[in-house]
Amino acid sequence: MKAKFLILAIVVCSIAKAQNIDSLLNPVTVTATLQELPASKTGRNITSISGTYFSQLPIHSMDDLLKYLPGVEVQQRGPAGSQADIVIRGGTFQQVLVLLDGLRLNDANTGHFSAYIPISPSEIERVEILKGAASGIYGSEAVGGVIQVITKTFTAKKNKEQQQVQVQANAGQYGMLGLNAGAFYQKKQTTIAAGILLNQADGQQQRGTTGFYKNQTASFSISHYVNQNWRLAFRTSYDKRHFSAQNFYTSFKSDTAKETISGYWNQLSLSYQKKQDQIQLDAGYKQITDLYAFNSGATPNENLSKLLQFAGRYQHSFSAKSQIITGLQVQQKNISSNDRGQHQLTQTGLFLLLNQQVTEQFLLSGSIRLDHTQNIGAELVPQINFSYKTGIIQWRGSLGKTIRQADFTERYNNYNKTLVTSGSIGNPDLKAETSWSYELGMDLIANTHWRISNTLFQRNQAGVIDWTPTPYNQMPRKTNLVSTGTYALASNVASVNVIGWETDLKYLNQWNNGKKMMATAGLVWLDNKTFDAAPSFYLSSHAKLLINSSLLYGTKYWQLSGNAVYKIRTAANATAIGAELSENYFLLNAKFQVFVLQQKLGCYLQADNLFNTSYSDLLGAVMSGRWVSVGMQLNLK
């Protein structure tokens, strides 16, 4: 165990001399304020990771990347993008909003699909992670934080010419095969990008089955500057994932589930910019088909969810120090299911945001949003952030209200079946979650290589939605239930208070002789108190202590990269299936690559779960042991 912690310490504790790369330590972001600002001036704790860094780490999918980023807890159920829940600051997996170039990806059916990013990795310009409340701009789900994927096509500047081709292929144990390929082309006013991501394996042995997966993503995007002021951009993508889902949702011995999730994503963006004015119009359509079979003898659940959304935003700069932004967002959600029935829901949000540079050192940002949900009503959601710089220290703080509306699974799960003898039961009378979030932080950019961020945060929540064991005689609806059944009812937990501390570190260095190093690390400590006698599931599943990190060190001829995570959480067990959730675990992935042709072509050896740790992120969903693969990577510019 000492050796493992020594490796983790090496990841985050390296100091060297190098050139000034402050812009990478304090990158320009848009997620917190909708205006391009250095991260330190937003008043928020933001992590920004470039797509280039993504391609060099020992990962296979988007949820693999997020799992090792500072402050983000990813509770994986299966490998290589099969399924994962995203948790930030001790919330539930539905309390994180995921955006793709400004549009919402969160599925109307369930938050379990939030980590399905329907684009190829080669399209990613950067990933921005905003920790903490953001409902004042984005509305529902932006409780624990916001993850936004920003792509090359939708951020391309005019009058540039560049071409890039990326290909990565790998093969490994248990029938593993993978392909990640993409191309990017830009000439003056037009930009085109396309790519595919394929991951499949027979899988490691489980109870009576194997943890197989076959996941496929294909995407295409194009943008064009019509003239000096107007730009039009479009994206279409297809995503399909077929995998073993044994004990993903139950702890029954008879569970040998398989699941297939396929979907389409289409996005259209029209933007205008001239002098002090900017206009952004976005439209998106998402369709997801979910086919879940509990075992070979069960009738599969068939769910078709649809999300149609529109967003409009206007920004006016009164001066270089004062900007006002106003916007309208509309979502129409639909589901057609043999399990949940047929339902439709419309959500509308209108917001106003002001960014004001009060002095050279002091910036203030405030927003207010009126959010309305069909048949539920309206919520007024305010937020205020500040940032103040003194020497090499940037102080920041935030106060805001957050909301989250229940999804279709929480409202109608098992409502349309003839007879339900056990399982999770939806509740259509669920109210919206509300909370108040407070944080105070300090960023230190000690020199041109290090950035250290510390944040103290608290969230006081009311009416949090979770699944609680409920006897038959207390069920609000008994139509298709039996008196001897065992049920978990979706309920509004009375109140939950979360207090925590997070520390983020980032180190960057580049030498004249071609050597480079980048390391990130994060520590999160959480204390979660639930003021309700009824136990709940997801509120108690997050880590009490989370340490995650990544390291990249390379020369002209070779490169070593690694990811590590250590967590302490509440132990649990399910004796019926022999499953155990250990109190803690340590996980390390490693990748060693040798370059030829001036770093254009590389061959690598990768080991996932190097120490062969036996672990689960969620009780019953057993994760893979050590998995070794080899591959090649081609980069042409």
The residue behind tokens 């990249």 is 552
Amino acid 207: pLDDT: 86
Cα distances from 312 to residues 128, 228, 271, 280, 442, in angstroms, run: 21, 20, 10, 6, 33
Instruction: Give the separation between CA 85 and CA 113, rounded to whole angstroms.
Output: 8
pLDDT at position 446 over 90:
no
Amino acid 278: pLDDT: 96
Dihedral (CA of 142, 444, 63, 626) sign = negative
Segment 157-167, tens digit of pLDDT: 888 888 999 99
Amino acid 11: pLDDT: 38
Amino acid 19: pLDDT: 34
Amino acid 14: pLDDT: 34
Amino acid 55: pLDDT: 79
Q: Which residue type occupies 231?
A: R
pLDDT at position 5 over 50:
no
Amino acid 537: pLDDT: 67
The residue behind tokens 């009058």 is 159
Cα distances from 415 to residues 288, 396, 477, 538, 552, in angstroms, run: 20, 46, 9, 21, 49
15: confidence class by pLDDT, cuts 50, 70, 90:
very low
pTM above 0.95, yes or no: no
Amino acid 62: pLDDT: 86
What percent of the chain has a predicted confidence (pLDDT) above 70? 95
Segment 476-525, tens digit of pLDDT: 999 999 999 889 999 988 788 999 999 999 999 988 888 999 999 999 99
DSSP state for residue 533 in the 8-state scheme: S
Instruction: Give the separation between CA 313 and CA 240, rounded to whole angstroms.
Output: 32
Question: Is the CB of residue 45 less than 8 Å from the CB of residue 440?
Answer: no
Cα distances from 145 to residues 72, 93, 348, 385, in angstroms, run: 9, 11, 20, 15
Instruction: Give the separation between CA 452 and CA 250, rounded to whole angstroms.
Output: 41
Instruction: Give the separation between CA 535 and CA 555, rounded to whole angstroms.
Output: 52
**Which residues are CB-neighbours of 479 under 8 A, at least 6 positions away?**
none
Tokens linked to 28: 């320009």
Extents of the domains making up the chain? 2-177+232-636
Q: Which of 93, 145, 138 is nearest to 115 (CA)?
A: 93
Evaluate whether the domain defined by 2-177+232-636 bears CATH number 2.40.170.20: yes
Instruction: Give the separation between CA 270 and CA 556, rounded to whole angstroms.
Output: 42
Of the candidate ranges 179-183, 345-349, 422-426, the one whose mean pLDDT is the lowest: 422-426
9: confidence class by pLDDT, cuts 50, 70, 90:
very low
Of 600 and 326, more confident: 326
Tokens linked to 202: 């027979």
Segment 517-565, tens digit of pLDDT: 999 999 999 998 887 756 566 677 889 999 999 999 999 899 999 999 9
**Which residues are CB-neighbours of 610 under 8 A, at least 6 positions away?**
588, 589, 590, 626
- Across 342-359, b (16+ Cβ under 10 Å) vs e yields ebebebbbebebbbebee
DSSP state for residue 430 in the 8-state scheme: P
Strand-strand pairing, 213-225 and 83-88: unpaired
Average pLDDT, the chain: 90
DSSP for 375-418, written as a single string: TTEEEEEEEEEEEEEETTEEEEEEEEEEEE---HHHHHTTSSSS
- pLDDT (average), residues 462-475: 90
Where does 300-433 have alpha helices with state H? 408-412
Would you mind telling me the total number of residues written for the chain in this entry? 637
The residue behind tokens 């990017």 is 184
Question: Is the CB of residue 524 less than 8 Å from the CB of residue 500?
Answer: yes
The residue behind tokens 């996005």 is 267
Instruction: Give the separation between CA 59 and CA 53, rounded to whole angstroms.
Output: 11
Tokens linked to 341: 């029935």
Amino acid 10: pLDDT: 37
Amino acid 391: pLDDT: 85
In which element (H, E) is residue 52 found?
Answer: helix 51-56
4: confidence class by pLDDT, cuts 50, 70, 90:
very low
**Which residues are CB-neighbours of 468 under 8 A, at least 6 positions away?**
488, 489, 491, 493, 534, 535, 536, 537
Question: Is the CB of residue 465 less than 8 Å from the CB of residue 492?
Answer: yes
The residue behind tokens 């912690």 is 5
**Which residues are CB-neighbours of 575 under 8 A, at least 6 positions away?**
none
Segment 26-57, tens digit of pLDDT: 788 899 888 888 887 888 999 888 888 877 89
Question: Is the CB of residue 373 less than 8 Å from the CB of residue 405?
Answer: yes
Amino acid 17: pLDDT: 36
In which element (H, E) is residue 51 found?
Answer: helix 51-56
Amino acid 215: pLDDT: 96
